[in-house]
Amino acid sequence: MKNRFTTRLRVTLCLFFGLSGLIFSGCATTSPTPDKMTVGATEIIHVVEADLDFLTRIDTGARTTSIHALDIKIENPAVKKKDNIGKKISLTLINGKGERKRLQTTIVDALQVRNAQGVETRYMIPLTLRWRGIDKTIKVNLRDRSAMTYKLLIGRDWLSKDFIVDVDINKNLKKR
């Protein structure tokens, strides 16, 4: 408790006085999350199940991760998307280079997502995302991202507990 109070006080004083660690050691250099790895605003993420690399946008404003998927087919589809949870689904994942892989898996959820166009329900499937040798399996929502620069958008669900974002990292990582 005392350590948390000391850290908060130090950060508050640093912000209040605009100091960069000259008087209060660690103001600008102490990381509050030393066990977390730092990712940039863009990264190359490997989707294990598809054996494809994606130039990816890391979006702390997005709650869930979204991937470009087309030609989605569900075994014995129901009208309501929620009623398809647990059913087999086949789809094609396409990265920014146009490389394609056909996958078959199971729908694990149907999530309502708010975006600029309104609210839509998207299927979610489990995918293992690899970054620098670290594998993390999460539920990823499926969307036609044809018109978007980044075919994989990483949300807070992937970042949570393991990663923090530094927007200065990979500034020069461009679409390939």
Q: State pLDDT tens for residues 11-61.
A: 554 445 554 444 444 444 444 556 888 998 999 999 999 999 999 999 998
Check pLDDT > 90 for residue 176: no
Query: How large a percentage of the chain has pLDDT more than 90?
Result: 61
What is the structure's pLDDT at 171?
66
The domains of the chain are located at: 1-30, 38-165
Q: State pLDDT tens for residues 83-137.
A: 999 999 999 999 999 999 999 999 999 998 887 778 889 999 999 999 999 999 9
Q: State pLDDT tens for residues 10-20.
A: 555 444 555 44
What is the structure's pLDDT at 113?
84
SS3 assignment for the chain: CHHHHHHHHHHHHHHHHCCCCCCCCCCCCCCCCCCCEEECCEEEEEEHHHCEEEEEEECCCCCCEEEEEEEEEECCCCCCHHHHCCCEEEEEEECCCCCEEEEEEECCEEEEEEECCEEEEEEEEEEEEEECCEEEEEEEEEECCCCCCCCEEECHHHHCCCEEECCCCCCCCCCC
Judge residue 119's burial from the number of C-beta atoms within 10 Å of its C-beta, 0-12 exposed, 13-18 middle, 19 or more buried: exposed
CATH-assigned architecture of domain 38-165:
Beta Barrel (2.40)
